[in-house]
Amino acid sequence: MAGATHGLRVIPPPAAEPAGDREAAFDRCADALYRYFVVRTRDVHLADDLMQQLWLAAQQLGPTVPDELEYRLRAIARNLLRTYWRRQQRLPTHVPLVDPDLAAELAERLVSKELPDAELCRAEVREQLLLALTELPAQQQALLIGHYFEQRDHAELAAQFGISLRAIEGRLYRARRALRERLQHMELL
Amino acid sequence: MTGQEDHQDRLLDQNLRSIGRRVPLPAAPTEQQRNKWKQAPGSSDLHGPEETMRPTGRGGHFMRNRRMYLPAGTALAAAIVMAFVLLTSGRHNAVAAETILQSFRDAPRQGLRIVFSGLQTEEMLVDGRVSVLFDQPWRLGELISGEMSDPEPSSIYVDATVAFSEAAREHAGLHMQVAAAIGEAEEWAYVQGTLGPKMSEELGAVAPLAGNLLNRGVMIDLEGVFEGENPIGVTHTSVREVTVGDGAGGQTTATIETDASVTVDDAGPRLTVASEVDVQNGAAIELGELEDQLEDLLAGRLDREGLEALVLRLDELAGDVDVEEVEPGLYVLTARDLSGLTDDDSGDVTDTLAHMVVAMGYRVDVGVEWLNVDHLLGPDGHLEIAFINEFGPADQLNRADYVQEGVTFELDAGACLKMFGSSDDAAGEASAEK
């Protein structure tokens, strides 16, 4: 019997993504990865170059199971960026850098009181928030950006993602929690 | 969700709404941009990890002449000398030469960051960086004069790629990325790459397994490995013969023997590099005397007459030099065309030195902060040395960046050692249990 031998149930590995779906999988997370590069380089041309490298890397990867591609592309994106800065000999002074202490403090303040405008406008706050946001999985980024940065309500998001209002609320809650956790555990590049 | 979690989530929701209205996001990519990404040629100026691990793409660029070792070894000396020359010759008196010299000699240093890229020889191509902090501050002058013994590294971060060309006899085709963090906070090492045909042949039946592991990448956790009294380490001795033609049919041959060893024990990691150059038939590059003078200079043994003689000699060597105050208090000294350092008539060494660019950053009240050498060993060769007092973001490595879940093989070396401990240990434990 397929899948079982001598009473021991063998769980088959997840089916690998068909080769034809690779481009679609890349497209699903491309916006998030592009944003990841732009926030960290402040250079859209460089971000374009890095996305080209990422596309090449995506094609060279072996078979992946669904959802694995984004995880692996994120790791490659981090390495591409690290390699780029290394070849530039030093981290530039004009791009935002992760400050783990500041990010952790922000995570705490965001859930402890309503922050005044003056604090929200601080560059360090914006930078740490964007650095954390752009590290989230593409779908969570899309939800948070759609709701908070593009001011779309739950009904619009439900229509966009093709899920119920209740599901949107649940996913938004998990995305907020993920953002907070990311801020609490930000790591240097 | 508890009441407190609910309250926190509501605050987070409100704060995100406020931030979202004020913080601009990067524009989404256009359709044209997306198309451009996918029409990328097979390579670009950016060298991602995949490309750096692919030696065949670079095989044509490996240097064919070993003579370049000599200029490489003396580039730093040249940088220091040039700085002194420029600032004592009266042409640039914005910064007192004595101050700079003193900062070189007497400023306490805690660590170094060395970045190198595109360093090519006939047999290999090396890129990477090393950041090291020592167990105590050290002064260059005291080290050179022997007043102080070599400081020992307390923490090291290394990330380097090495690709051997087809010309490398023992390691042809081998290319590896090696990274390691060894110190109080973390101890791990990572290696990834591919075996070359030579190593595969040598390994025989084990080659497929070793090749697969290396290809996937191996992360080795070293915590607990260095607690014993017995040090572990590797020593590598490299002997190279360098031959330089004198343009008249004669040759000068030098033997360069380099011993490099890395040992780790309970006192921490130690890196030792010793190099000896034996010139059999005259010196193709006239640096022997200059290096002696430099040593005297840095050790404070050179008197005024000696200094003047040195300045006069060295002032003729650089073809193009300048000192620029790039920001208040920060001077960058750049020297180009150091071909005056050699009388090599065959052209190779002269050509290399002529293209070499040496730069140095000096900050008033701080001292020399960095030294750069460009066009080292070839058009892409770059070496940068910076003095650091603590690790910064540019130094630290993140273990997670090297591990791909389900791909990278992770090995806990400390646990393995405990599992396969010595028979003495086992006997001891057995008797203790009784």
pLDDT band at B262 (very low <50, low <70, confident <90, very high): low
Residues of A in contact with B25 (CB under 8 A): 35, 130, 145, 149
Cβ-based neighbour number of residue B426 at 10 Å? 11
Closest CA to B111 of B389, B383, B362: B389
Tens of pLDDT, residues B376-393: 777 888 888 888 888 888
B117 vs A86: CB contact, 8 Å cut-off? yes
Whole-number Å distance between alpha carbons of B177 and B52: 9
Name the closest residue on chain A to residue B392, using Cα atoms: A188
HSE at residue B61, side-chain half, CA atoms within 13 A, is: 16
Do residues B86 and A116 make contact, with C-beta atoms less than 8 angstroms apart? Answer: no
The predicted-structure confidence for B324-347, as pLDDT tens digits, reads as follows 678 887 777 677 776 766 655 556
> For residue range B97-137, what is the model confidence (pLDDT) as tens digits?
445 556 666 777 788 888 888 877 777 788 888 888 888 88
Q: How many CB atoms lie within 10 A of CB A60?
A: 10
Q: How close is the nearest chain A Cα to the Cα of B300, in Å?
A: 33
Residue of chain A whose alpha carbon sits nearest to that of B396: A188
pLDDT of residue B304: 53
Query: Predicted confidence band at A189 (pLDDT cuts at 50, 70, 90)?
Result: low
- Partners of B218 in the beta sheet? B191, B409
In order, the DSSP letters of B252-302 are EEEEEEEEEEEEEETTEEEEEEEEEEEESSS-SBTTHHHHHHHHHHHHT--
pLDDT tier for residue A179 given thresholds of 50, 70 and 90: very high
Q: Which whole number is the average pLDDT over A4-23?
A: 48
- Cross-chain Cβ contact B46/A39 below 8 Å: no
Average pLDDT of chain A to the nearest whole number:
81
Q: Tally the residues of chain B.
A: 434
**Contact (Cβ atoms closer than 8 angstroms) between residue B343 and residue B245:** no
- Of all residues in chain B, the one with the smallest CA distance to A51 is B37
Contact B26 A35 (CB under 8 A): yes
* A35 contact partners, CB below 8 Å, separation of at least 6: A134, A141, B25, B26, B28
- CA dist B73 and A74 (Å) reads 40
Statement: residue B430 has pLDDT above 50 = no
Contacts of B382 in chain A (CB under 8 A): 89
A189 contacts in B (CB within 8 Å)?
393, 398
B122-141 burial code (b ≥16 CB/10 A, e <16): bbbbbbbbbbbbbeeebbbb
Q: Do B28 and A31 touch (CB under 8 A)?
A: yes
pLDDT tens by residue, B56-69: 222 222 222 222 22
Q: Tell me which of B89 and B60 has the higher pLDDT.
A: B89
Residue B40: partners with Cβ closer than 8 Å, 6 or more residues away: A52, A53, A55, A56
Section B232-260 average pLDDT: 48
Instruction: Determine the pLDDT at residue B298.
Output: 52
Between B392 and B43, residue with greater pLDDT: B392
The maximal CA–CA distance of chain B, rounded, in angstroms, is: 91
Band (pLDDT 50/70/90 cuts) for residue B55 is very low
The DSSP code sequence of B67-128 is: GGHHHHHHHHHHHHHHHHHHHHSSS--SS-HHHHHHHHHH--EEEEEEEEEEEE-SSEEEEE
Residues of A in contact with B49 (CB under 8 A): 76, 79-80, 83
Instruction: Grade residue B160 by pLDDT with cuts at 50, 70 and 90.
Output: confident
CB B373 within 8 A of CB B383: yes
The backbone torsions φ and ψ at residue B275, rounded to the nearest 5 degrees and listed phi first, read: -130, 140
Helix (H) or strand (E) segment spanning residue B175: strand B175-182
Contact B121, B377 (CB under 8 A): yes
CB pair distance less than 8 Å for B20 and A148: yes
CA distances from A183 to A114, A129, A188 (A): 17, 7, 12
What are phi and psi for residue B350, nearest 5 degrees? -60, -45
Q: Give the amino acid at B155.
A: S
